[in-house]
Structure formats: structure tokens, C-alpha cells
Amino acid sequence: MKALRSIAYKGTSDYVNMGGNLIRQPLPTQELDQVDPFLLLHHYKYDVGPYSPGLSLAPHPHRGFEPVTFLFKGEQLHRDSLGNEGVLKAGDVQWMTAGSGVIHDEGPSKEFVGTMEGIQLWVNLPKKFKMTTPKYQDVKAANMPIIPVENGKGHIKLVAGELNGQKGAASTFTEINAFIANLETDDNITIPIPSNHELLVYLLEGETRINDEHTLKLGKLQMLTFQKDGEAISLEANKNSTLLILSGEPIQEKVSSWGPYVMNTQTEIMEALRDYQQGKMGHLY
């Protein structure tokens, strides 16, 4: 039996204001800057209707990392300066490599009315890939491998990485596992994690006991990170639960960031600002 990892950090998911909307931000916080290679995690949930347009972001640039959107409810329209345009449906994932620079906007599709819920994750890129050609992976829910919970009713969806001999649908520049656990009450599962990976678990819904040690609950303890002293974690659902499980090989390089740019030096940040202003990241109208 694989040794379970001990817990390193226990975090709440406090609200921040973005575009007049309150969203949860468990990463970064004053206590935790990053979980290398994961830089930022935003959890948004709001209603869209005639008098509540929801969170819609104007066109904005990115460089040097990968913004990843996991959509759990609703429909989200995406456009970028590469000419990509599409609609994410509930269960889909948009894995975008900003690389050398891209401009995009995102928000509810014009036709959608209802509840919108998703997570935006920022994944760092190593220095050698920061100026790679931008690309866009539209990962549909139907293309994600499913691992059923043994002797249970829930399942694990593989967005990226490997689990039980199966590979996730998204390709990554470094070793990354991105799993979505949909567990039903009393489901119990042990998930192997590479010993060299950093690891975090975030709860979106429900209540789940981790390693028989701490219970993740909404509005209280919603995120855990772990020591690299074991090769697995165990999950036991006290209620129907949805969790995002992220692990990755740490990049261990200096990070310099400003707004939508994540580079290695302040000079590179200034270059990104200049290139955006000069139109070198393209245009989006």
C-alpha cells in the first residue's frame, strides 16, 4: 500500500473583487504564493440573466504561462487573437498556452441564462517554453477518460496526466496531473501521486474527508496542499462532492509577474508590456 502524504497547508477560499463580481481565490494568498507550477486559482460562480450579465472580461493579453478554464456549469464564449472562437459547455476544459503572447476575452455566451461556475487556473511554463508559439486546446468532456470509483458510484475525470494506466486528454509542457473527482456519499478512493510532484486538492461542492485527517467543507477549509513524503492521497465523501486534484513537477525557476504576464525577470515583463502596446500580440476586435 502506498504511503499517504501528510498535509502541508490548510486554506480557506476567500473572496476577491473582479470586475464587480466576487470570486473565490484560494491561490495565491498572503500565506501561500504558489504551488509550483500552479500560480493562481480562481473559482467563480454567478447567475446570468437579463438583469445580471455575469462576469464578462474585456479583451486582455497573456504571456509566459497557460491559463486553463474548467467549466462546471453554464456556457462560456472564448475568442482570441489567434482567430480561435468557441463555446465551452459544462464539463469542458479550455487549455490555452499563452506562450509568446495572445489577447483573448471570455464570458457567458449570448444565448445562455442560468448559473455559471468554473475555475481558472494559471499553470507556469519553464523559461525555455515561455516564448513558445501560442496554442489552444479545446478539451471536450466526452473525450476525457473516466476512472470509476471501485465499489462506489462516483468517478474521476482525467483532464491531463496519467492515472491507472490511462492518459488525460490535454497535452502539457511539464508533468502535470489534472483530475476532477465527482464522488457520491460514502465513496472512498485512494489516488496515487508521483513522489516528485507538488500537490493540491480543492473542493468545489460537498464535503470530503482527506487521508482520514481533515475534512474539506465549503466556506471553511476548501484547499489543502501536501508534503512530498508519500505517494498517494485518500478521499472519502461525506456528501456528494466535486473536487479538483492538481499535481505537477515543480519548475523551480524565479518568477517575475505583473498583471497578465508571468516571466522570469522584470526586464522580460517590461518587454511584454512594450510588445502588447506595439500590437505584437495581435488584435481582437
pLDDT in tens, 238-280: 999 999 999 999 999 999 999 999 999 999 999 999 999 999 9
Q: Any binding-site annotation on 104?
A: yes
Which residue type, as a one-letter code, is found at position 116?
Answer: M
What local confidence, expressed as pLDDT, does residue 52 receive?
Answer: 61
Query: Would the annotation count 60 as a binding residue?
Result: yes
Confirm whether residue 62 is marked as ligand binding: yes
Spans of the chain, pLDDT less than 50: none
pLDDT at residue 57, rounded to an integer = 65
Evaluate whether 122 touches 67 at the Cβ level (below 8 Å).
yes
Domain ranges of the chain: 7-277
Report which of 161, 170, 167 is spatially closest to residue 140, judged by C-alpha positions.
170
15: cell is 473572496
Query: For residue range 164-187, what is the model confidence (pLDDT) as tens digits?
Result: 999 999 999 999 999 999 999 999
Options 2.60.120.10, 2.60.40.10, 2.40.37.10, 3.10.310.30; CATH for 7-277 is 2.60.120.10
The percentage of the chain sitting over the pLDDT mark of 90, rounded to a whole number, equals 80
Cα separation, 141 vs 91, in Å, equals 5
Residue 222: the pLDDT is 96
Report pTM.
0.95
User: End-to-end distance of the chain based on CA atoms, in angstroms?
Assistant: 55
pLDDT at 190: 97
Whether 106 has a binding-site annotation, put simply, is: yes
Predicted local confidence at residue 193, as pLDDT: 97
pLDDT at residue 186, as a whole number? 97
Q: How many CB atoms lie within 10 A of CB 205?
A: 16
